Amino acid sequence: MLTRKQHELICFIDDRLKETGVSPSFEEMKEALDLKSKSGVHRLISALEERQFIRRLPNRARALEVLRMPDRPETAKKAAAKTAAPRSAPVAPPAPANDVIEIPLHGRIAAGVPIEAMEGQQMLPVPAALLGSGEHYALEVAGDSMVEAGILDGDYALVRRTDAARDGEIVVALIDENEATLKYFRREGAMIRLDPANRSYDPQRYRPDQVRVQGKLAGLLRRY
216 is catalytic: no
Cβ atoms of residues 137 and 111 within 8 Å: no
Please pick, among 23, 30, 145, 216, the residue that the annotation labels catalytic.
Answer: 145
Phi then psi for residue 119, to 5 deg, are: -90, 135
37 is catalytic: no
**52 vs 100: CA distance, rounded Å:** 23
Please pick, among 23, 30, 183, 216, the residue that the annotation labels catalytic.
Answer: 183
Q: HEC profile for the chain?
A: CCCHHHHHHHHHHHHHHHHHCCCCCHHHHHHHCCCCCHHHHHHHHHHHHHCCCEEECCCCCCCEEECCCCCCHHHHHHHHHCCCCCCCCCCCCCCCCCCEEEEEEEEEEECCCCEECCCCCEEEEEEHHHCCCCCEEEEEEECCCCHHHCCCCCCEEEEECCCCCCCCCEEEEEECCCEEEEEEEEEECCEEEEECCCCCCCCEEECHHHEEEEEEEEEEECCC
Which amino acids are annotated catalytic?
145, 183
